[in-house]
Amino acid sequence: MVEDLFENAAAARLRREAPLARRVAPRTLDELLGQDHILGRGKILRRAIEADRVTSLILYGPPGCGKTALARIIAMQTKSAFEPLNAVTSGVRELRELIAIAKQRRIHEQRRTIVFVDEIHRFNRAQQDALLPDVENGGITLIGATTENPFFSVVAPLLSRSQIFEFKRLEEAALIQLMRRALKHEALGLDDFKIVVDDDALAHIATYAEGDVRRCLNALEVALLTTPPEEKVIHVTIEVAQESIQKKLLHYDGTGDGHYDAASAFIKSMRGSNPDAALYWMARMLEAGETPRFVARRICIAASEEVGNADPMALVVATSAWQACEFIGMPEARIILAQAATHVACAPKSNAAYRGIDAALADVREGKTIEVPTHLQDTSYRGAKRLGRGEGYQYAHGFEEGYVPQDYGVIRGTYYQPSERGHEASFKERMARFDERDREARDRK
């Protein structure tokens, strides 16, 4: 009895000392903000939770958006036993012990078990495979939470047996609403004081939290606990808020979705001739720790893929920027990368060369093989002339404009079709003139 009293007192103290984000965590679906696209009235996930018919789920989204909070709500609302695991601290042995308990519970109590695995992407393949048989036969219901794209981090058999729901980061308005709610929450623990938080202070915290509820409420708690009360009033101003959360949180995984999504937006901005957007996405990558080399490589690729011969200097500028960044490094490399990115973004666009090489490769791989015409064959070795190699070849530089109609094995315009943009317009005009001379030469034969 005495031991129970001590344990209860310790548990109560831990609850009081828990971070504010944990103390004011939502307890119902209505309190969980920002995920109406999957938890709004009438949505399938909400209906399943309210009817206690939850199937295996993978909850995917950035940190602090409500994945674990939803798991706790399901634990409170379901009639099933709820068993939490953390993939960082648990292994196959813990999984097997838990599954064995779930089997006995099913047999003796006719009660289902929901296993919640936080950070499931940290389970290796063997650990994830250990869940498969019991997920398959209904021995357990799995709820996995992950910040990484499950299509890359979770094994396919588990994905096929689970519904996948993507959580979105919260908008600033939702974060402000959550902070106002927390200030009135019974677990705030500042009952002896009057709390005043300025609107611009709330807005600053919401902006710098970048959609992360946990970071938002932690910053609010720091502001409240470090502001000296005056006549029983704790007044949080914008200056206090700025000290409480001084640097924006960038959700950016250098190997995951954040990395590839930002790079994709950067490339598409250059392709779309929007230098401002290109600079923003480049800044986003650099500020999050992306290497200048990675950014420079993307600019070089875009210089050929998106600009090509419409502005041949784009590739020259891009490769020069890459080399300069290797010598200079950050932070000055940002200036060089900005010059190259804006050049590529502002340049006239053509993907004619890109489309041409892909079409040629497709023919090489799948089409009829073209023999090298005799007059184009190599004559550099002894005996080539005796074999007739190179016979009939006409040296282009010996003719007007450095051009003479002659068979090169492939008809002009088969693959490369210059655009009328930028420098490539002159290419198109020149090629059209040579094409006419080719037709005249063919007609004379």
Q: What average pLDDT does this structure show over 176-205?
A: 88
d(CA 282, CA 261): 12
- Give the mean pLDDT of 393-411: 83
Q: Tell me which residue of 105, 48, 107 sits closest to 77, measured CA to CA.
A: 48
The DSSP secondary structure of 156-225, one letter per residue, reads HHHHHTSEEEE--PPPHHHHHHHHHHHHT-GGG--TTSEEEE-HHHHHHHHHHHTT-HHHHHHHHHHHHH
Selected residue with higher pLDDT from 126 and 312: 312
Say whether both 81 and 142 belong to one domain.
Answer: yes
In this structure, are residues 334 and 286 in contact, taking their beta carbons and an 8 Å threshold?
yes
CA nearest 181: which of 220, 128, 146? 220
The conformation of residue 42, written as its DSSP 8-state character, comes to T
The CATH number linked to 205 is 1.10.8.60
Residues 297 and 324 in one domain: yes
**Closest listed residue to residue 411, CA positions, set 442, 377, 389, 390:** 442
Tokens, residue 75: 């634990």
More confident residue, 136 or 321: 321
Tokens of 131: 């869940």
Q: In angstroms, rounded to a whole number, what is the distance separating the alpha carbons of residues 56 and 69?
A: 17
Burial bucket for residue 431 (CB in 10 Å: 0-12, 13-18, 19+): middle
Domain for residue 303, yes or no?
A: yes
Residues 53 and 95 in one domain: yes
* Cα separation, 58 vs 144, whole angstroms: 5
Helix axes 333-346, 257-271, angle to 10 degrees: 50
Q: Which two tokens stand for residue 379?
A: 């004559």
Determine the straight-line distance between the first and last CA of the chain, rounded to whole angstroms: 110
Containing structural domain, residue 202 = 172-244
Going by C-alpha positions, the residue among 289, 221, 225 that lies closest to residue 23 is: 221
Q: What pLDDT shows up at residue 2?
A: 42
CATH number at residue 59: 3.40.50.300
CA distance 244 to 33: 24
Average pLDDT for 89-103: 83
Q: Is residue 339 part of a domain?
A: yes
Q: pLDDT by residue (tens digit) across 254-313?
A: 555 677 888 899 999 999 999 999 999 999 889 888 889 999 999 999 999 999 999 999
**Mean pLDDT score, 345-368:** 89
Average pLDDT of span 30-43: 89
**Where among 131, 166, 201 does a domain terminate?**
166
Q: 224 and 159 in one domain?
A: no
Domain assignment present for residue 4? The answer is no
Do 238 and 276 share a domain, yes or no? no
Counting the structural domains of the chain, the total is 4
Task: Mark which of 244, 276, 297 sits at the end of a domain.
Answer: 244
CA distances from 140 to 82, 113, 210 (A): 10, 5, 35
pLDDT of residue 15: 55
DSSP class per residue in 397-427 = GGSGGG------SS-TTSS----SSTTHHHH
Q: Using one digit for the tens of pLDDT, what is the confidence trace for 225-250?
A: 888 888 888 898 898 888 887 666 55
133, 166, 199: which is the final residue of a domain?
A: 166
